[in-house]
Structure 1
């Protein structure tokens, strides 16, 4: 289990590889998972400003989408803290089929902070909040398709 700054009930679903967090969903269709993912994104106050149809663009046979996300009040706050934020926005969340599973990934914005503003504590604190929300979206989406060993009230 991971320990994050804001605890959520579904932390047992999220895994990490350098550069991104992800969940693997073993039940449900791609369309159902993608639909619930989009609901969770919106439930957290984020807008999907564009969806890249990676499957169609790359002419691959398995479903693959990348959602570009923005939260207007976060963007305003981020620009005020770190004006060059424009080179690392928007947040990206990918969903695709891998074998008989569906994988959802989100970039680790903290890694971007280390690259672009390693000594800016205020910006890194801001990115931590963004990261926690992205992880919560992953967890809550996965929680709609899998059972957690944690209850939502812990």
Structure 2
């Protein structure tokens, strides 16, 4: 079977997506891909979802933060961004997604918009609401492990 001529081959754009969730949340690659497909289908319908063709190419999440590269067809970038914005939880864990950039190649999207998606985190005890709790601090974000569950805070909240 012959390949299509270059002018008939589909053109792709690659969306760099920053991911943030609780440090103990288990958000796997397959689960994330499934939620992307569901969001695309629910928002765009079957024909629109097929046109956008959301495909997860790279996925790296560790300790609550990371990044992904999502492939979409060239004319469907706005629809894909809207579908990605509709994903608010994976496997019952809340998740925050932000499209940091769009590129014409996977390498350019990774280097320009994701950098080192995992970042570094430190764990220590913090004083929060008059009591000491264990917390993880990464990139100016603090995840306090309170009795009622994790609480998102900033460095200024615990000082």
Does the TM-score normalized on the shorter chain lie above 0.5?
no
Please state which structure has a larger fraction of its residues in helix.
1
Bigger RCO of structures 1 and 2 (CA < 8 A, at least 6 apart): 1
**What is the TM-score when the length of structure 2 is the normalising length?**
0.32
Please state which structure has a larger fraction of its residues in strand.
2
**What is the TM-score when the length of structure 1 is the normalising length?**
0.33
